Structure 1
Amino acid sequence: MITWFRNLTQTWFAKVLFVLLVLSFAIWGIEDTVRNFGRETAVVSMEGGDIEVPEAQMAARRELQRVQAQLGSSFEAEEPLRRAIAMQAVEQLIAERAQRAEAARLNLATPDAAVQAYVFSIPNFQTAGQFDRLALDQFLRQNDMSEAQFLQLVRDDLQRMQLSGAVRAGAPAPDLLARAMVRYEQERRIAQVVELPLLDAPEPEPPTEAALARFHANNPDRFSTPALREATIAVLTGETLADQIEVSDADLAAAYDARRAQFETAERRDLQQALLQTEEAARQIAAAWRANPDFAAIQQQVESAGGAALSLGNVPRADLPIEALAQAAFSAPDGGVTDPVQSPFGWHVMRVAGVTAGTTSPLSEVADRLRQEIALERAGDLAFDRANRVEDALAGGASLADAAREFGLTVSRVTLDAEGRDAEGLPAVLPVPVAARAEALRAIFAAEQGRAPRLQELREAQGFMGIELHEVRPPALKPLEQVEADVRLAWTNDAKRRAQEERAAALLAAVRGGQTLEAAAAAAGLTSTRMGPFGRQPEPGTPGLTVPRELLPVLFNIPVNEPTMAPTAAGFAVAQLLEVVSADPAADAAALENAKRTAQQQMADDLNAAYIAALRNRANPQISPTLLQQVVP
């Protein structure tokens, strides 16, 4: 057989076949190179500098963190919102690039001294009125930003402020507009008001059984069960598998050696710092400090020299991001004063007021915690392996419950509504961590009946969840005998509302027929109240003498003597406008000046927005839809 193959390779057919195979592999081997040749790498191509994917990704992550900080830790951004956040971050970068290009075209420059002064003036970076370097360092760490990146952002912001300042300066507010705003805002009105709360409505005759049955049948949304779903839920997380992991003493020792830094407390130093503008002044302070360690006296000398002195506190080396400063501070002896060190902020002189030696926790103290960490890490790997095996079982036709029992998943069959309540209205028990409950509910109500179950990632629990939907129960009208008390109460409230609405409509008709509201109310045995003068916004006042907020928009849009009626939170209200109290802008100089500022601010904002839009159009940004998908956080 081998001889036959050897003879075959000498034929022309075999040689041609071999050449074709070589060419095929050659083409396949360079396929990626051919594909990547000329491929775009910028998510935005524009005049003024392209925006690469990593920069856009970082901006999108920061924007998402900002949104999450505003809405709370429990907020979870869905995919459409994440795409919108990514697009917003990219648009912000485009605007910044366009303005930076315009600043370069106009030859705008921002000196280092201006950048330094601006940073020193930021309130969040100050302690007791002095610049606090630690506050800046903490800000940089929280925003995953280097000092050079931050200073460049400040420089760009200052240049944009120059641009926008020049544009906004051309937006004065006309006096005519300001006076019109004051007249609108300060206009007051007086009205006669009758309130008809449901609590004052006469008690209706008890409903007949037939009326009660009709009301029950005609209002199914009030007396029906919610839509329910019955499903089998299987959950696989590292925590559920951690008990199955054995961690030997050898594994524990190896992990301790590999993670020794976790169990060591770094050396800390109590540092005092003086920051000055020139090297000569810094050297004079260093010499004076070595001669007299009194920090209060040094502070006075530094301030007299035009600098700033403050205590940095007890800090580890890692909290000093400038290596030259860290090297100087942690090389000096206890009580020592460093030579001057230069940074972008000036010349630093530091004194070591105290040294706290680092410590190391022995393995015996951290063994239990370390063993649990290792078990959870290995359980996470095991969870991925189990998930693949569960997927294979499900693909082979196994039910979710059978696959869960075979591979050790936590499984439960539940019946619940979209709020997580069972048929009795009680919170349903789900086999997921509390943090993942909302995510699990969304997944259950997104599942499709009849579709084969699949495992999906459970992000809030760092695990997997499978859902097998058995039944979808639409809302069902509860039997009358089960909800009769609720039906009777609702019928009574509706009857009272109809009665008060009829009384309000009768008053409205009487006023439109020529009576005053005061007279019509007296004839009907109701109390009316003269209210006002009142403004366009709800104003706190004497209880019972405040115009219902539902009436305010209408009362400021009808002529004098015109009546109106509106449903309120308590029932109904009828009003007749009696008088319009006009405002005199000249009588309130402060209000007029405030209106001018407000109008000017709004006009300046509009003008600046139009200017930025024009710069964007000039830059002609071209956004890559394909690469934009990679920016979504």
Structure 2
Amino acid sequence: MLTALRRMAGTWLAKLLFVLLIASFAVWGIGDAVRDFGRDDSVARVGDQAITLDDAQASVRREMQRLARQLGAQFENDPRIRRAVTEQAIEQLVLDRVVRGETQRLNLTVPDAAVREFIFGIQGFRGMDGQFSRPVFENFLRSNDLTEAGFLALVRADLARQQVAQAVRAGAAAPDALVRPLLRWQGEQRAATVVSLAVADAPEPPAPEEAQLRRYHENNPERFSTPELRDASVAVLTAELLSREVEVTDQEIAAAYEARRGQFETAEHRSIHQVLVPDEAKARAIAEAWKGGADFAAITAQADEAGGQAVDLGSLDRAGLPLPELAEAAFGVAEGGVTDPVQSPFGWHVLKVEKIEPGHARTLAEVRDTLRHELAQEKAADLAFDRANKVEDALAGGATLAEAAQRFNLGFAAIRTDATGHDAEGQEVALPVIEASRQPLLRAIFTAERGAAPRLAETEAGFVAVTINEVVPPALKPFEAVEPAVREAFIAEAKRRVQEERAAALLAATRGGKPLAEAAREAGLGFREVGALRRDQRQDAPVPPELLAPLFELKLNETTMVPTRTGFTVAQLTEVTPADPDADAAAMARIRGETAQAMANDLEMQFMTALRARSNVRINPRLVDQLAQP
């Protein structure tokens, strides 16, 4: 038989069969491997620049570590969060390559001295003596998984990006033709006649008959039914639980304090007004007038005459000022002081320090417990995935949730709960998670399928495994058990209906040409005349918040009706008072500054979008999906 097969293998028929067999493998099996040969293994490409998988992994890891330190116990490595962080990290790497390409095209360079000065100026890298500390710097690099060369490259690229961005943003200016209408719109005030119809003030309806109440009870089952209850066994693995198993030494706490010193220091902030004009002589005249006691409105007018502008920069720390010379001047005068004119590429600046908020640094003793907790959480996060794999193996081997929880020190509970975390009697059910994780755990319970084998899945509440033992569907409560609640709801609805009809009648009367005040008097209702209403009025508004937006959409003498938390409100617009830009120089300056800032942000965003669009960006979705997996 074997001899016959060998003879046949040499025939043309056998060779044809081999060719067909190889072709079938190419189509159905081996083809994927062949097609993958030589594939690009970069996560993304920007032109001819590759973003490698290692670069992307390091960037995602740093961002996840930063979030874990920032949020502490509230941070959970949820799949959705990891996906968002992954996409954001990759986009940042893409934009970094895009800007690098533009800086190379423009032949922009960042001198070593500028990089050194920037790093030495970072507060978080300073030691107890206030000077740059090499050990603190190295601790920072280690904790963020960075090399010194890599960090210097990041700083250099960022400083180059700032050069490009500042050049783009420098063209942003808000002209009067835009600022004045904005001020008129934003500062506009309105007056109205207002009638409030509270449900509580409605007359008592006739006492309902039992038949009416029973029909109401049957027609509104969602209001008078028991909630769905789930009988579940729940096991959870969280960093909070694992942190009780790890030890944090005093040396680790001290090293973390040095590495994270910037988190515990509040830099000095100064509230600053700025004038920017193109001419030095006019800048000096403005500085003298300001030092002589001129108010901001007068200075704003003087700046306008000089072809410049005056803006309120708000409260800034030293790093918040974009140019070192401005920071040096602003932080070199006392509170209430005015600087001499300072020249920059944008013109001549004069700054006044309105208020100083001193900086503050918390000591190691003050933050020791916080750091101990954060470090324990970080160590626990490293243990979590290894422990989760062991739990998953045990469950796959047939262990029950209770057995796995006992063996691996998990949080465990056997509960019967509704979707809000209460039992059949309305008492809060104890869950094996912290308060912030109750809702994510309840969502996991109410999305689990009955009868499905338990699996340890990553959720916002941590690693969670659920077994659903029983589902008790909602059931309409007996009328006799809820009669008082049915009666109360029936009467409240009847009162609300009465007030809605009254409000609708007032609205119809005004649309027929009758003033709201007259229509209210005829109906025996009270009304109020309310003035000086503003668009941004919320907390202290003399009208319901639901009324403000509709009121500012009305034309003069038009009427609107809105439902509120307590009933209904009808209002008729009686007066519109636009803001006068010429009477409020400070408001003009504020809006000019806000508008210019918004325009600068838009310009920079559009510029970056345009750069990205012409940079031939390609993303590898397969590797992005791989990175987003825990």
Structure 1 distance, partners of 2:65, 2:490, is: 49
Structure 2 distance, partners of 1:406, 1:595, is: 63
Q: For residue 332 of structure 2, what is the aligned residue in structure 1?
A: none
Q: For residue 44 of structure 2, what is the aligned residue in structure 1?
A: 44
AA in 2 matched with 1:475: P
Mapping 1:281-360, distance limit 5 Å = none
Q: For residue 190 of structure 2, what is the aligned residue in structure 1?
A: 189
| CA gap 1:77/1:206 in 2 versus in 1, 3 angstroms | farther
Mapping 1:379-528, distance limit 5 Å = 388=393, 390-393=395-398, 414-429=415-430, 440-451=441-452, 453-457=453-457, 465=465, 467-528=466-527
Q: For residue 559 of structure 2, what is the aligned residue in structure 1?
A: 563
Q: For residue 606 of structure 2, what is the aligned residue in structure 1?
A: 610
Specify the SS of the correspondent of 1:221. helix
AA in 2 matched with 1:143: N
Q: For residue 553 of structure 1, what is the aligned residue in structure 2?
A: 549
Which is worse superposed, 434-443 or 469-478? Answer: 434-443
Q: For residue 89 of structure 1, what is the aligned residue in structure 2?
A: 89
AA in 1 matched with 2:178: L
Q: For residue 150 of structure 1, what is the aligned residue in structure 2?
A: 151
Structure 2 distance, partners of 1:383, 1:265, is: 26
CA displacement at 1:404 relative to structure 2? 9.6
| CA gap 1:449/1:522 in 2 versus in 1, 3 angstroms | same
AA in 2 matched with 1:562: E
Question: Gaps (5+ residues) in structure 1?
Answer: 1-8, 17-30, 242-258, 272-376
- Could you report, residue by residue, the CA deviation over 1:65-118 in whole angstroms, capped at 9, with x for unpaired residues? 555677773354543443232112111110111101111121111112212222
Specify the SS of the correspondent of 1:180. helix
- Could you report, residue by residue, the CA deviation over 1:558-581 in whole angstroms, capped at 9, with x for unpaired residues? 121112111112221111111111
Structure 1 distance, partners of 2:409, 2:164, is: 64
CA displacement at 1:510 relative to structure 2? 2.6
Structure 2 distance, partners of 1:535, 1:437, is: 40
Specify the SS of the correspondent of 2:468. strand
AA in 2 matched with 1:424: E
Structure 2 distance, partners of 1:530, 1:402, is: 70
Q: For residue 336 of structure 1, what is the aligned residue in structure 2?
A: none
CA displacement at 1:64 relative to structure 2? 4.0
| Structure 1 residue 583 corresponds to structure 2 residue 579 | yes
Structure 1 distance, partners of 2:518, 2:129, is: 66
Structure 2 distance, partners of 1:174, 1:236, is: 58
Specify the SS of the correspondent of 1:577. strand
CA displacement at 1:405 relative to structure 2? 11
Structure 1 length as normaliser, TM-score?
Answer: 0.64
Q: Greater CA radius of gyration, 1 or 2?
A: 1
AA in 2 matched with 1:513: G
Which is worse superposed, 79-88 or 115-124? Answer: 115-124
CA displacement at 1:612 relative to structure 2? 1.0
| Structure 1 residue 573 corresponds to structure 2 residue 569 | yes
Structure 2 length as normaliser, TM-score?
Answer: 0.64
Mapping 1:266-281, distance limit 5 Å = none
CA RMSD of aligned residues (A): 4.7
Structure 2 distance, partners of 1:169, 1:617, is: 22
Structure 1 distance, partners of 2:146, 2:622, is: 27
AA in 2 matched with 1:61: R
Alpha carbons 2:184, 2:581 under 8 Å: kept? yes
Alpha carbons 2:194, 2:529 under 8 Å: kept? yes
Q: For residue 175 of structure 1, what is the aligned residue in structure 2?
A: 176
| CA gap 1:484/1:138 in 2 versus in 1, 3 angstroms | farther
| CA gap 1:490/1:123 in 2 versus in 1, 3 angstroms | farther
Q: For residue 625 of structure 2, what is the aligned residue in structure 1?
A: 629
- Could you report, residue by residue, the CA deviation over 1:536-561 in whole angstroms, capped at 9, with x for unpaired residues? 122555xxx71222111122111211
- Could you report, residue by residue, the CA deviation over 1:129-179 in whole angstroms, capped at 9, with x for unpaired residues? 954537655654553334433332221111001111111222333321111
| CA gap 1:186/1:482 in 2 versus in 1, 3 angstroms | same
AA in 2 matched with 1:152: A
| CA gap 1:212/1:40 in 2 versus in 1, 3 angstroms | same
Alpha carbons 2:503, 2:570 under 8 Å: kept? yes
Q: For residue 117 of structure 2, what is the aligned residue in structure 1?
A: 117
Structure 1 distance, partners of 2:164, 2:517, is: 61
AA in 1 matched with 2:599: M
Which is worse superposed, 556-565 or 80-89? Answer: 80-89
Structure 2 distance, partners of 1:45, 1:229, is: 49
Alpha carbons 1:540, 1:546 under 8 Å: kept? no
| Structure 1 residue 159 corresponds to structure 2 residue 145 | no
CA displacement at 1:600 relative to structure 2? 2.2
**Percentage of matched positions with identical amino acids:** 47
Alpha carbons 1:46, 1:622 under 8 Å: kept? yes
CA displacement at 1:474 relative to structure 2? 3.1
Specify the SS of the correspondent of 1:423. coil
Specify the SS of the correspondent of 1:42. coil
Structure 1 distance, partners of 2:571, 2:240, is: 64
Structure 2 distance, partners of 1:412, 1:520, is: 62
